[in-house]
Structure 1
Amino acid sequence: MSKKVILITGASSGMGKETAKALIQEGHTVYTVARRIDHMQDLKNMGGYPIQMDVTNENDIQNVVDTIIKHESKIDVLWNNAGYGLYGAVEDIPVDEARKQFEVNLFGLATITQKVVPYMRQAKSGTIINTSSMGGKMYTPMGAWYHASKHAVEGFSDCLRLELQEFNIKVVVLEPGVIATEFGEVMLKNISQFSSKGAYSSLTNQLVTATKKMYDKGQGSKPTVISKTVSKIVNETKPKTRYRVGLWAKPMVWMRIYLGDKLFDKIIMSQLS
């Protein structure tokens, strides 16, 4: 197994942190970035290289890429993992909040990709992993902006894959299902902020109850299912274009593709009753 220089965004918790630990233990050179650098001290102690970075700040991104190139002369793997879920009714969420969702989940991802690709192109080698979600292929009520951003990541990644083919740069889409991370907490905080009162309060309460029940029961898959998958992608010479892993990911996407809109709508709404 060849040792690689890896850059991971959104590595202060959850999937990003667990995977960074695994890749460091495998002997790779792992640079981790997030706004909360104090949450990555354990990665530094293990031999990783944490750097503070806001994925929506272009100067931060440029500094990180320049730092890695200065010390390593290359970036073999970029894992665009930073993201969050904005939930609430379309009518209730201010468009400025929706813009922030896209700034993090799509435009931040695109900016760092633009800055890393020239080095991969020169090396005629590289792997870019973009974290989408099973939500990039299906939908739930109150998640319009989150799902829109992840659908966008899917389309962006497919086009990028074709553009980078001739330079031997692989683009892989990761589509996690329900993973036991902070995602649920952030989602519940958002939906309570925007739609707990008013016309959509009933639907909001149903969604909050169903989500809490799922996370309280510990139904989400452990982040290790992601770390094992990313390790496989990093170490494969010919990875697949998509990896769908974690609770509900495969069955939910299958139902979305094959059952049609109206039946899928019924299935989704039945989970809230």
Structure 2
Amino acid sequence: MPQHVALITGASTGIGFEAARKLASHGLTVYAGARRVELMEPLKALGIHVLALDVTDDESMRAAVGRVLEERGRIDVLVNNAGYGSYGALEQVDLAEGRRQFDVNVFGLARMTQLVLPGMRAAGRGRIINVSSIGGKFYEPLGAWYHATKFAVEGMSDSLRLELKPHGIEVCIIEPASTLSEWGRISADGLLASSGTGPYADQARDLAAVLASTDKPGSSTRPEVIAEAVLHAATAVRPRTRYPVGRGAAAILTLRRLLPDRLYDAAVTLVLKRIAG
């Protein structure tokens, strides 16, 4: 049998970058796609195929999938990792930004899935791995757009899992906790730009401090740990439907499941203030 072929989106940094390395090191033929192609140069040295890929551009997505199919004739694993966090008070965030958040985090994921499914169905097997977040199960103030997209990914993945089961295609969800990457700093900058002044400024400053702190060693989980979960989802004979992974993931999800909404609201507010100092 030929090597399994994996296509990963958002592979220029963080989880996507490390997942590409991890899958390649375990014998998969890996295609890594992202907008910032120059950041993926180190992946080429590992034999990973690098693609220009923008998940908000249909032509770009078609071209990426088409190249893999032309060169390999198959895509066995799709890792939908591309995404970012848009934060700010709902009142202050322009609707165009809200739509872009959904375009990247939800519609890009859905379109990439549409493009690979015909081949997977014809083969009678395949894996769709959607990188969600523990933020698809809980919430924060000023995170309405981001959390809405991750809640959407959770529901979409669950429905997709059932509809693809008769075709031999597995659907798995990766639910990372805070991960050591540029994600938190970029999200904090966007938050302060939209809500750093005005009626939500106090909340914005607290949450921005929390988000910015996630890129400090020791405060978050290294992306290599998340990549291990991606590897298991891609290669296990019977993968789990969900992989909550990272520092505090299990505790946070347990609290959300057990606490009534208003008590959880109070806990979130208290924790954010304490972390922000």
Q: TM-score range by the shorter chain?
A: over 0.9
**Partner in structure 2 of residue 168 of structure 1:** 168
Report the Cα offset of residue 22 of structure 1. Answer: 1.5
Question: Distance between the aligned counterparts of 1:9 and 1:217, measured in 2?
Answer: 25
Report the Cα offset of residue 17 of structure 1. Answer: 0.4
Give the counterpart letter for 2:3 in structure 1. Answer: K
1:5-52 Cα distance to aligned partner (Å, 9 max, x none): 000000000011011112112221000000001111111111000110
**Partner in structure 1 of residue 143 of structure 2:** 143
CA contact (8 A) 2:184 2:213 kept: no
1:184-221 Cα distance to aligned partner (Å, 9 max, x none): 01111110110000000111111122333454463101
1:94-153 Cα distance to aligned partner (Å, 9 max, x none): 011000000000000000100100000000000000011000000011100000000000
CA contact (8 A) 1:210 1:271 kept: no
The alignment-based identity, stated in percent, is 42
Change (3 A) 1:214 1:74: closer
Give the counterpart letter for 1:31 in structure 2. Answer: Y
CA contact (8 A) 1:14 1:223 kept: yes
Matched, 1:14 2:14: yes
**Partner in structure 1 of residue 106 of structure 2:** 106
Matched, 1:187 2:187: yes
Report the Cα offset of residue 2 of structure 1. Answer: 7.8
* Structure 1 residue matching 2:45: 3-state secondary structure: helix
Q: Within 5 A, what are the aligned runs for 1:1-273?
A: 3-216=3-216, 218-273=218-273
CA contact (8 A) 2:182 2:215 kept: no
CA contact (8 A) 1:32 1:49 kept: yes
1:63-98 Cα distance to aligned partner (Å, 9 max, x none): 111111111111000000000000011111001100
Question: Distance between the aligned counterparts of 1:28 and 1:136, measured in 2?
Answer: 29
CA contact (8 A) 2:179 2:221 kept: yes
Question: Distance between the aligned counterparts of 1:226 and 1:35, measured in 2?
Answer: 21
TM-score (norm 1): 0.97
* Structure 2 residue matching 1:175: 3-state secondary structure: strand
Question: Distance between the aligned counterparts of 1:150 and 1:214, measured in 2?
Answer: 19
Change (3 A) 1:41 1:257: same
Question: Distance between the aligned counterparts of 1:156 and 1:216, measured in 2?
Answer: 32
Which 5+ residue runs of structure 2 have no aligned equivalent?
A: none
Tell me how large the CA RMSD over aligned residues is: 1.3
Give the counterpart letter for 2:166 in structure 1. Answer: E
Change (3 A) 1:164 1:192: same
CA contact (8 A) 2:207 2:272 kept: yes
